[in-house]
Amino acid sequence: MTVKNGAFNTGDYRNIFKEIGYDNLEINRKIEDTWDKLFGDHEETKIYYEVGEDLAYMLDTGNIDVRTEGMSYGMMMAVQLNKKEVFDRLWKWTVTYMFMTEGENAGYFAWSCLPDGSRNSNGPAPDGEEYFALALLFASHCWGDGEEPFNYSQQAKSLLHTVLHKGEGGHGYPMWNLENKLIKFIPNCEFSDPSYHLPHFYELFSLWSNPEDRPFWKEAASASREYLKIACHPETGLAPEYAFYDGKPNHIRGFGHFYSDSYRVAANIGLDYEWFRGDEWEVENANRIQAFFADKKPADYRRYTVDGKPFEEKSLHPVGLLATNAMASLAADGEYAHDCVKLFWNTPVRTGKRRYYDNCLYMFSLLALSGNFKIWFPE
């Protein structure tokens, strides 16, 4: 793997907005305004809610619940923008209400809770755990470790140990298949979700996790890059929401098509290429995804088969989709790369009931395309 031109080695992060003509003042203003819309007191756009003196949660406004996905996303946004109080509020809420101390999933986080903290489920979702881990490592590198639960690095290392070693005593399951090194959709199943694959995260886990686990994470980064090649369609570039380990769509409950989870693949490919120049295939696939959507208007985005056949069902999250297509421009070098970024720039954050997922993806894309989704190293 060649990383010599990636930000991991150079410390340089592309600001694609600036590349296509926006100035730093308006870029920074857009970031500040978007943060305020999501984390401030704007009822039509906010997804962050404070509780008491030291807790807060990210609300899935479409389902009226709190998910590990959103909590970990909020923490990553906060650490990228040096918002320690927001980070700590979210983490303390997570530890208080979501962390499971007994049962098959002890050591993991319950993926869905009500805003009052009561659990909707005692099952975990691995995409939350992997985001928690890296957000905590970055927090440790930015702010240093404090007293529990703000001993960020220890919390991250413990979690990264659990996701691999859970079940060794005969109780529970790891979140990765330890043989093929691929992340599972949930611990007690044997299939994956392509949008969970974050090889750029695993590269960093291979540096900062417990020493005995570092070789696994290095292998997992390579395994995920190879898996995405077989999970994404060779012509459209689209990935299914669920896929088997051989990359074929898993149609359980209708999740074998390109739909909401799948949008994140384009973003993940873009960021892996920006940080590590993970694989030149990422350039090709980012180009394919952008070409597929080039003749489609956001108002007409739909569910698609991975080979591109549209369903009548409209996209639930068109703003999230155009945001991730724009973030793919960190890897793309085709004719549509700048068009996708301009479309994103000219699209406001989403309002209304379904705004949560769209606006999470929107914020990540805004950070990434402005050069502000960074690797934070220990001092």
Domain ranges of the chain: 1-46+216-379, 48-175
What is the pTM for the complete model shown?
0.97
Helix (H, G, I), strand (E, B) or coil at 312: strand
Which residue in 88, 129, 193, 261 is the catalytic one? 261
Which is it for the CA torsion 255, 287, 329, 279, positive or negative?
positive
Write out the H or E segment, with its range, that includes residue 86.
Answer: helix 84-93
Which residue in 69, 241, 272, 279 is the catalytic one? 69
Question: Distance (Å, rounded) from C-alpha 376 to C-alpha 204?
Answer: 10
Active site residue 69: yes
Whether 48-175 and 1-46+216-379 are alike in CATH topology: the answer is yes
Mean of pLDDT values over 88-105: 97
Mean of pLDDT values over 217-224: 98
Q: Cα–chain-centroid distance for residue 379?
A: 25
Q: Residue 60: CB partners within 8 Å, gap ≥ 6? A: 66, 67, 70, 356, 357
The region of weakest confidence among 58-72, 157-171, 198-212, 362-376 is: 157-171
> What mean pLDDT is reported for the chain?
97
Mean of pLDDT values over 347-364: 98
Write out the H or E segment, with its range, that includes residue 48.
Answer: strand 48-51
Active site residue 261: yes
Question: Distance (Å, rounded) from C-alpha 160 to C-alpha 135?
Answer: 12
Residue 94 has pLDDT above 50, yes or no: yes
Residue 2 has pLDDT above 60, yes or no: no
Residue 296 to residues 255, 291, 299, Cα–Cα distance (Å):
22, 10, 8
Digit-coded pLDDT (tens) for 128-146: 999 999 999 999 999 999 9
Contact by Cβ (8 Å): 331, 289: no
Helix (H, G, I), strand (E, B) or coil at 304: strand
Digit-coded pLDDT (tens) for 272-308: 999 999 999 999 999 999 999 999 999 999 999 999 9
Question: Distance (Å, rounded) from C-alpha 333 to C-alpha 349?
Answer: 26
Architecture in CATH of 48-175: Alpha/alpha barrel (1.50)
Quickly name the fold that domain 1-46+216-379 has. Answer: Glycosyltransferase (1.50.10)
Residue 3 has pLDDT above 50, yes or no: no
Which is it for the CA torsion 228, 9, 69, 267, positive or negative?
negative
